[in-house]
Amino acid sequence: MVAAVRSQVSVNEPVLYVAFELAKQQWKLAMTSGFGVAPIVRTVSHGDWGAVEHGLATGRRRFGLAPDAAVVSCYEAGRDGFWIHRALEARGIANRIVDSSSIDVKRRRRRMKTDRIDALKLVQMLVRAGAGERGVWSEVRVPTPAAEAARHVSRERTALTREQTRLVTQLRSWLATMGTGLPKQRGPGWWTTVRDWAGAALPAPLQQRLARVHARLRLVAEQIATLEADQQAAIATAPPESAARRLVQLKGLATTSATVLIDEGLVWRGFTNRRQVGGLLGFAPLKYESGEVSRDQGISRAGNDRLQAVMVQVAWSWVHWQPHSALTRWYLERFGTGARARKIGIVALARKLLIAFWRWATAGIVPAGAILKQA
């Protein structure tokens, strides 16, 4: 096993800094040895690790570093995911994955943008971050291979649920053009019994199309049922003190929602405080203050969108099933005066609930006044 290289080093320590600008066909490597040293750029083919090693050797020689000098690298999070990070770590290179939305850009109306320019800017920021400067950018936490693989189940279920909704909406739209509606009970061949506005049977081409969509709907429903069964089995076989088992013990939190919370990183991201947990969800107030101007810009939508959708649903469920909990009482006292206020306040409740769930899942602190399901 290769020893890990420190990602934060002294400014006087000989280090090769490398920024990867990733594309489908080629990678650009911008390299420098520290502050005030003009970087160089090399281009290699996508996934050509031999060329990468040769480029690193070239960089060491160019900047007068030892052949075994430490290497610190970075790249922006994107379609390649985490496999490049793991490949770099396996080669003894300390790597950072950067959230691209956290990189400052010039505010000119038009600005020059090329892969070479992006790579050069990224390596300059890497030098600052490697020297210990804070606030240079935001970094992405890398899940374990097992945690990354587990996300496919809940994300596939979300995609299938959206597909199911889309297909049902299509059925309703097509039938609406004939002056009729979608039956609630849809057995085999239901499209042959539907009548249009004049009481006549639907046209044969439309019936055939309805039949094909109905077949796709049945397949989607079967796949959703299979995924839900897998999720329930995984929860049932988890250790009693695991985060998943703890979450499903809370009344108002179902297996599907608990699985999404776990898969999206409530535990594996290794949060150390409530602000970090809230940052994952977003839903934070946005203030604008400049000189004498001070105003509220509403609520930030930045954050994990899947987690946001699930937590809003869980928040409404929490108010219903946990009426005596401290968070529900806080919500009703502050936002229970009207429908609009309740819709706005449910976002604040969702943020507080996620923090409470994190404390319960990781430290075993039960949310104040919460009811646990009977075993």
Q: What is the pLDDT of residues 339-349, one digit of tens each?
A: 999 998 999 99
Say how far apart CA 153 and CA 97 lie, in whole Å: 24
Q: What is the pLDDT of residue 348?
A: 92
Q: What mean pLDDT do residues 145-149 have?
A: 92
Report the run of H or E that residue 206 belongs to, with start and end.
helix 204-237
Q: What is the pLDDT of residues 352-375, one digit of tens each?
A: 999 999 999 999 999 999 999 876
> What residue type is assigned to position 188 of the chain?
P
Residue 230 structure tokens: 């897998």
Pick the CATH number of 15-130 from 2.30.30, 3.20.20, 3.40.1000, 3.30.420: 3.30.420
For residues 217 and 167, the answer to whether their CB atoms sit within 8 Å is yes
Q: What is the pLDDT of residue 4?
A: 44
Q: Does the pLDDT value for residue 118 go beyond 60?
A: yes
For residues 21 and 28, the answer to whether their CB atoms sit within 8 Å is yes
Residue 317 structure tokens: 């469920």
Of 350, 297, 282, whose CA–CA distance to 319 is shortest? 350
- Supply the mean pLDDT for the chain: 91
Say how far apart CA 261 and CA 240 lie, in whole Å: 17
Of 60, 126, 71, whose CA–CA distance to 94 is shortest? 71
Strand partners, 74: 19, 96
The structure's pTM equals 0.83
Residue 11 structure tokens: 């400014």
Q: What is the pLDDT of residues 49-88, one digit of tens each?
A: 999 999 999 999 999 999 999 999 999 999 999 999 999 9
For residues 273 and 293, the answer to whether their CB atoms sit within 8 Å is no
